[in-house]
Amino acid sequence: MDQARPGRDILDRALRASWIAALALAAAVAPGRPLDAAAILAGQLLAFLHFIFLRKIVKLFTEGGRDPRLALAIGAKVVLVYGGLAGLITLGGVRYVPLCVGFALPFLTLFLKSIMLALGAGPASLTARRATETARSFGNAAKPAVFLLLLGAATLLAFSALPGAALADEAAHGAPAAQEATAAHGDATHHAEEGAAELPNWLVILHDFNPGNPLVSWLEKNQVIVFAWIAGLLFLLVSWLAMRKPKMVPGPFQNGVEWMVESMEEVCGGLLGPQIDKHFPLIGALFFYILTINMLGIIPGMKSATSSLDLTLALALITFLYVQFWGIRNLGILGYLDHLAGSPRDAIGWAMLPVMLPVHILGELAKPVSLSCRLFGNIFGEDTLIVVFVGATALLIKASLVALAVPPMAGITALFMMLQTLTSIVQALIFSLLATVYLYMMLPHEAHAHEEAHETH
């Protein structure tokens, strides 16, 4: 069936991708400029209609004959798409740029899809998947998980844009002197918070060269999200490349990715038992996402987004909500409360209830805090360590001791970068393993009583 209508398959995929892109774009600009977001969506809708009608027209035309529906479709397309465009433009208030961006999105995605097709990622290979069961289910399930993570990052972005917009409005209305004072103050605190302890990444460098550019300064302010997005896209790209043409006898790349996924599942499955199938998508996605983010920091000019507490806290909160959700789902509301109360079964248990309940609730609440602080502290600490050594090298260079300073310092920095690689892997592993352990504590223990079920309680 894939050979029958290859074009339609590509068109569907491209349109779906363009809808996702348009929604993300609209969500990103919505808090500041709702009209622009609406314009993007309107443009996307018009282009979508354009493609839908075009497909219908081509189908009717190639099927031959003088079908009256052909004229009807052409007429409807002209009226809806071109009339809609003309109407929106003459309406006033709608800006051209977001409208054109929205209208161009489906064309762009279709173009990209065509390039991919030309490069060998045909729709047949996209749909007919014959991978090992694990890799396939992970590949399928990880995509929505990563998409959710990306969506979360987009929401963060939208919210972080809010105070900036408010500040800009305030500054525009206020006196120039006050404006300068706020700007200087904001700059100073900004640099005191971040500039001291980090190597400059390419966004900071870009910002230094284009201090006035609003887009660049906006990106520089939200660099954590930018780098998290880069890592997420990298992750998606690698998983897509590996599972693009899955074979029974995998090539080296697919084999490597499958090996990573399977060994991770083995490690988590040793803790969680057969229930791992249900929960591995999130745990595996967390592991590989955090690993990608951590590893990104080793590349010069890049930054690991996990060296910001915001991102690690978001990840830990996702884990926390997931664990609580499955706890309630598996134990029932009453069982969940019973679990929180420490499962009182005798008089002493009931007597201890007023003590045990707050202790258990505090223990649950401490989990996301410890998860996020551990990841943040480790990655941030490693980054700071390297900054200290690079800073010492820079100081010695300033004192014109280049020949003396650079070789040993470069060696030490390289050693710490190796250590950073190790930390990246171990911290990603610890994060996902602890998520697994927290999940294991919440799941009913009768299901795998043969194991050391009493160890955790």
Partner 1 sequence: MLFPAALGLGLPLGIGLAAIGSGIGIGFLGKGAMEAMGRQPEILPKLQVAMIIGFGFAEALTIYAFVTMFFLQGRIG
- Interface ranges with partner 1 (CB under 8 A): 192-193, 266-267, 270-271, 370, 373-374, 376-378, 380-381, 426, 429-430, 433-434, 437
Choice between 192 and 333, CB closer to partner 1: 192
* Shortest spacing between CB 28 and partner 1, in angstroms: 30
Four-residue CA torsion sign, 182, 185, 186, 187: positive
Choice between 146 and 272, CB closer to partner 1: 272
Q: Residue 121 class from Cβ within 10 Å (0-12 exposed, 13-18 middle, 19+ buried)?
A: middle
Residue appearing with tokens 């993570």: 149
* Shortest spacing between CB 120 and partner 1, in angstroms: 38
* Shortest spacing between CB 197 and partner 1, in angstroms: 8
Choice between 11 and 433, CB closer to partner 1: 433
* Shortest spacing between CB 40 and partner 1, in angstroms: 40
Q: 95 Cβ partners below 8 Å, 6+ apart?
A: 35, 36, 39
* Shortest spacing between CB 134 and partner 1, in angstroms: 17
* Shortest spacing between CB 366 and partner 1, in angstroms: 10
Residue appearing with tokens 């909160």: 317
Choice between 292 and 436, CB closer to partner 1: 436
- Encoding tokens for residue 383? 């980054």
Report the candidate in 390, 188, 192 with the shortest Cα–Cα distance to residue 301.
390
In whole angstroms, what is the distance from residue 26 CA to residue 257 CA? 34
In whole angstroms, what is the distance from residue 30 CA to residue 39 CA? 10
In whole angstroms, what is the distance from residue 362 CA to residue 152 CA? 26
* Shortest spacing between CB 444 and partner 1, in angstroms: 21
> How many residues are there in the chain?
457
> Would you give the distance in Å from CA 414 to the centre of its chain?
29
* Shortest spacing between CB 370 and partner 1, in angstroms: 6
Secondary structure (H, E, C), 81-107: HHHHHHHHHHHCCCCHHHHHHHHHHHH
Q: 303 Cβ partners below 8 Å, 6+ apart?
A: 198, 199, 201, 223, 224, 227, 296, 297, 383
* Shortest spacing between CB 277 and partner 1, in angstroms: 18
Choice between 80 and 430, CB closer to partner 1: 430
Choice between 49 and 271, CB closer to partner 1: 271
* Shortest spacing between CB 439 and partner 1, in angstroms: 13
DSSP labels for 297-337? TTSTT---GGGSHHHHHHHHHHHHHHHHHHHHHHHHHHHHH
Report the candidate in 399, 418, 422 with the shortest Cα–Cα distance to residue 410.
418
Choice between 67 and 266, CB closer to partner 1: 266
In whole angstroms, what is the distance from residue 239 CA to residue 256 CA? 11
Choice between 59 and 445, CB closer to partner 1: 445
Choice between 36 and 383, CB closer to partner 1: 383
* Shortest spacing between CB 420 and partner 1, in angstroms: 15
Coil, strand, or helix at residue 52?
Answer: helix
Choice between 94 and 271, CB closer to partner 1: 271
* 389 contacts 409 by C-beta, under 8 angstroms: yes
Choice between 342 and 377, CB closer to partner 1: 377
* Shortest spacing between CB 450 and partner 1, in angstroms: 14
Choice between 199 and 434, CB closer to partner 1: 434
Indicate left, alpha or beta for 203 from its phi (over 0: left) and psi (-120 to 50: alpha).
alpha
Other C-beta atoms closer than 10 Å to the C-beta of 77 total 18
